[in-house]
Amino acid sequence: MEKNFDYEIWERFRKGDEKSFSYIFDTYHLQLFEYGQRFTNDEHLVKDSIQDLFFELARKRQKLSPTNNILFYLLKSIRQKIIVNLKKKGIITREEDHQVSEFRLSYSTEVDQQEKELRLDQLAEAINQLPPRQKEAIYLKFYKKLSNKEVSDIMQINYQSVGNNLQKAISKLKSILNSDTDAVILLLQNFIQ
């Protein structure tokens, strides 16, 4: 494992250094809160999950495995905590399913003239309509800059399906973008007629 900045901080925290623990809390808690809220609009449940997570990290620090990507480690852990808490509340019922029933990520379909011409409202709407699994994969890749391996780890799906999910989502978007060629042809035909 490459010994980078995250690795050193994590080691210090595991060995009982209070400042490293504070640093980790300060740096990441809001990011976790933001990610957590994507699974549910129950912000108290998300806060409880963050509390569960940090209490556990504090208690078990010596037993934790090393990491050189703290954000990845914490995203993975908070997702599991949230799923457990959602199950407790009966919001997720399917026992063996690590998948969530919702991923709240949406884009504005209010567009200006130029955006309208490029049909970005339709593009935004198409992203809004993607299934939660595909939205989450996009979120983790695009905004959190994680690798496919890390995404598969977090979402508890196999490596191949990360690629498949992204591929499916992008094909959907492509089909919208591609159809603008047809629109131009139609327009031309109208002119000719």
Partner 1 sequence: MKSTLIDRLFSRKFQEGVSKNSIQDYARLKKEDKENAWATLITYVLKFKRKELENNTVGSGDFSEIKEHSKEIFLNSPSGSSQFKKYSQVAAAASVLLLFTIGGFLIGESNLFTSKVSQSEYIEIKTPKGQQSEISLPDGTFVALNYDTRLHYKIDQNKKLQEVKLEGEAFFKVNKNKKRTFRVKTPDMNINVLGTEFNVNAYKTNKNIETTLIEGSIQIDHILGHKEPVLLKPGQKWQLNKSNRKMNVKEVDTQISTLWRNGEYYFEDITLEDLAKTIERAYNTTIIFEDESLKNERYSGSLYSDETIDELIEAISLTIPINVRKNNDEIWIDKR
Give the closest residue to 136 by CA, choosing from 119, 121, 120, 156: 156
Cα(151)–Cα(7) distance, integer angstroms = 19
Helix (H, G, I), strand (E, B) or coil at 109: coil
Is residue 106 part of the contact set for partner 1 (CB under 8 A)? yes
Is residue 170 part of the contact set for partner 1 (CB under 8 A)? yes
Q: Is 146 exposed, middle or buried (0-12, 13-18, 19+ CB in 10 A)?
A: buried
Which one of 10, 39, 54, 103 is in contact with partner 1 (CB under 8 A)? 54
Of the two residues 120 and 157, which places its CB atom closer to partner 1 in the complex? 120
**Ramachandran area for residue 97 (φ above 0: left; ψ -120 to 50: alpha; else beta):** beta
Of the two residues 63 and 94, which places its CB atom closer to partner 1 in the complex? 63
- Shortest Cβ distance from residue 95 to partner 1 (Å)? 28
Give the closest residue to 134 by CA, choosing from 109, 97, 171: 171
Query: For residue 50, which amino acid is it?
Result: I
Of the two residues 97 and 143, which places its CB atom closer to partner 1 in the complex? 143
- How many binding residues for partner 1 (CB under 8 A)? 61
From residue 109 to residue 148, the character string flagging contacts with partner 1 as x (rule: CB under 8 A) and all else as - is -----xx--x-x--xx--x----------x--xxx-x---
Cα(125)–Cα(144) distance, integer angstroms = 22
In the complex, the residues that contact partner 1 under the rule CB under 8 A are 3-5, 8-9, 12, 15-23, 25-27, 29-31, 33-34, 37-38, 41, 43, 47, 50-51, 54-55, 57-62, 104-108, 114-115, 118, 120, 123-124, 127, 138, 141-143, 145, 166-167, 170, 173-174, 177
